[in-house]
Amino acid sequence: MEGVLRQLPALGVISREKSKQKNKKGETTRAHQLLAELDLVQQELEAVNTWYNLAVDEDLIESYIYQMKALKAKYAHLLKQAKLAGITSSHEQYFARREGRRL
């Protein structure tokens, strides 16, 4: 699975260019970094979810479940960091919608 995720940027499925946005001084801002990481984790989660839906082998299904849990934990951590930094985005709404919650 890691091999597939590594190939996604090369295939243009996941763009890492968002993390290279710079401010007026030419420095990458923490807000842009966090938002780029959130985007990347969200895209990785969607990719793993797709692979999970296509899997038929029990071992693969189990590994995809663990990967989804790990990515959700990473996403929640990044979201907390973004909140602490005062950054707002639609990412929180994305997971709330997926989990059937309202904000």
**Domain boundaries in the chain?**
2-98
Reported pTM: 0.61
Q: What are the structure tokens assigned to 45, written together? A: 């989660």
User: d(Cα 13, Cα 93) in Å, to the nearest integer?
Assistant: 22
Q: How confident is the model at residue 49 (pLDDT cuts 50, 70, 90)?
A: very high
**Cβ-based neighbour number of residue 34 at 10 Å:** 21
- Residue recorded with tokens 């990458």: 28
Higher pLDDT, residue 91 or 86: 86
Q: 35 with 18: CB under 8 angstroms?
A: yes
Q: What pLDDT, in 10s, does the model give residues 1-29?
A: 455 555 555 444 444 444 445 555 544 58
User: d(Cα 44, Cα 20) in Å, to the nearest integer?
Assistant: 19
User: d(Cα 2, Cα 48) in Å, to the nearest integer?
Assistant: 10
Q: What is the CA radius of gyration of the chain?
A: 15
Q: What pLDDT, in 10s, does the model give residues 66-88?
A: 999 999 999 999 989 988 888 76
